[in-house]
Structure 1
């Protein structure tokens, strides 16, 4: 980053963060504190009202605001591709806002930048490998987003991919929504479940009859969605071997449960981590005779049982 770009970036960073120390700015822009001191002096001499407080850092004088700056071609392309992603993966309201944002960005670009941006974008296309989000799921995103902001509980029917101990796959849940996370192309609700009395993860695609309740909730003071990491409950290791001819296809499948793989002359050896071995049953069967379960024996037996059932059907 050259000096001119760094000076502008410093002003924008102070405008965004409020107060920053020279050490913070040096770390942000990967330079020395001595250089930051010189930059602050240069900005002050140029008329930018920067105040410095010993021990606290630098800040812009109250009321100072840097007007919108022009975008480079690369910045404009990044923003416009971002609007494409929002249209694909968010609810209808944000999809509409993404479209209006795209028009505004294109409108303020200089003609030369707009032409070059259009040329670059013509060589890039964002295709959702996981498919477009369905209408019901988009409605759920919007409902849950509003419920989270209003701190209202929600109620919904939920279908699990495997039955509970009592054999039931379906249940009715009431939960306090803490936030939404996009994982491997699927939206997940992070919420405190009243039925389980703990923080749980719910796939929006498995929800139905979602309603917002009058009851309110309070966010735990120590909860931060950006720092949240789910408790690890996948403790079962599964070893699978794939024939060399399909090794590249298996790698491209990018299974959520795959933890490691090794290439050998006789094929690809993979390690998966799951809650129950049956979670990989359909995945294994989908590859036919080109993959073989090495362990555990319980999964080998389940594959054998399913193969025998299929043989009887044919």
Structure 2
């Protein structure tokens, strides 16, 4: 990054943050603290009102704003594709804001840049999958987003893919919602569940009758959504053989549980890591006779039982 670009970037960082130390800026721009001192001096001499406090850091004088920033073609394309993504994957309110942002970005672009951006965007397209099925999920997304901001608990019916320890798939949960995470195209709520008395994850697509309660909650002092990592409790390994005819399709499927893939003479050997072997049952059956479970034996027996039940239907 040359000096001119770095000066503008420093100005943007100062406008974005309340206060920054020279050490912080040096780390951001991967340069020395001495260089940052010189850059701050250059900005001050050019008329930018920067306030510096020894031992605290630098900040912009209150009321100072940068003039409108210009975008390169690549930057404009990135922003506009971002608005397309938000419109597709977020709730209606954010979708409307994304449309408004797109219009504003397009309005401030110079004509030459706007034409080039339009040309580039004709070569890129985002396709929403299952839009009708996502309508309820988008509605729940907005409800939960507001509940998180207002720090209010929620109640909903929840359907588990696999039964809990008590054998039930259906349950009613009261949850203190901490955050929303988009995982492989699906929205997941992270929150403290009163039924299980622990932090749990809930797919919005499996929720029903979502209600925001009057009861409030406090975020744990040590909780940060950006730093949170889910405990990995997948301790059971499953090995399957995929016939050569479907090997490429299996690799493209890119299952969440897939750990390793090895091409062998008899086909594709795939290793999975799961909580319960039954989590893969429907997926394996979907490939028919082109897929064979090698281990564990308990899953082989489970597949055999399901196939026998299927034969009785015909």
Which structure 2 segments of 5+ residues have no match?
Answer: none
Q: Deviations over 1:120-165 (max 9, x none)?
A: 111111123x533522111111111111111111111111112234
Which structure 1 segments of 5+ residues have no match?
Answer: none
Instruction: Pick closer, same or farther for the CA change 1:27–1:166 going to 2, 3 Å.
Output: closer
Deviation at 1:46, TM superposition (A): 1.3
- 2:312 aligns to what? 312
- 1:200 aligns to what? 200
Give the SS at the match of 1:20: coil
Distance in 2, matches of 1:263 and 1:55, equals 60
Q: Which moved more, 1:208-217 or 1:267-276?
A: 267-276
Distance in 2, matches of 1:84 and 1:309, equals 46
Q: Which moved more, 1:263-272 or 1:213-222?
A: 263-272
Deviation at 1:62, TM superposition (A): 2.9
Deviation at 1:18, TM superposition (A): 2.6
Tell me the matched-pair count: 313
Deviation at 1:119, TM superposition (A): 0.7
- 1:143 aligns to what? 143
- 1:43 aligns to what? 43
Deviation at 1:264, TM superposition (A): 3.1
Q: TM-score, normalised by structure 1?
A: 0.94
Distance in 2, matches of 1:205 and 1:49, equals 50
Deviation at 1:228, TM superposition (A): 1.3
- 2:101 aligns to what? 101
Distance in 1, matches of 2:39 and 2:296, equals 62
Q: Deviations over 1:231-285 (max 9, x none)?
A: 2221111112222332221121111111222333433222211110000011111
Q: Which moved more, 1:116-125 or 1:238-247?
A: 238-247
Distance in 2, matches of 1:38 and 1:146, equals 44
Deviation at 1:80, TM superposition (A): 0.8
Q: Which moved more, 1:264-273 or 1:297-306?
A: 264-273
Q: Deviations over 1:173-201 (max 9, x none)?
A: 11111111111111111111111111111
- 1:76 aligns to what? 76
Deviation at 1:107, TM superposition (A): 1.0
Distance in 2, matches of 1:219 and 1:28, equals 29
Distance in 2, matches of 1:10 and 1:135, equals 42
Q: Which moved more, 1:236-245 or 1:80-89?
A: 236-245
Give the SS at the match of 2:223: coil
- 1:56 aligns to what? 56
CA RMSD of aligned residues (A): 1.7
Distance in 2, matches of 1:299 and 1:281, equals 8
Deviation at 1:90, TM superposition (A): 0.9
Give the SS at the match of 2:221: coil
Q: Does 1:91 align with 2:112?
A: no
Deviation at 1:290, TM superposition (A): 2.0
Distance in 1, matches of 2:122 and 2:2, equals 29
Distance in 1, matches of 2:122 and 2:81, equals 11
- 1:291 aligns to what? 291
- 1:185 aligns to what? 185
Instruction: Pick closer, same or farther for the CA change 1:36–1:274 going to 2, 3 Å.
Output: same
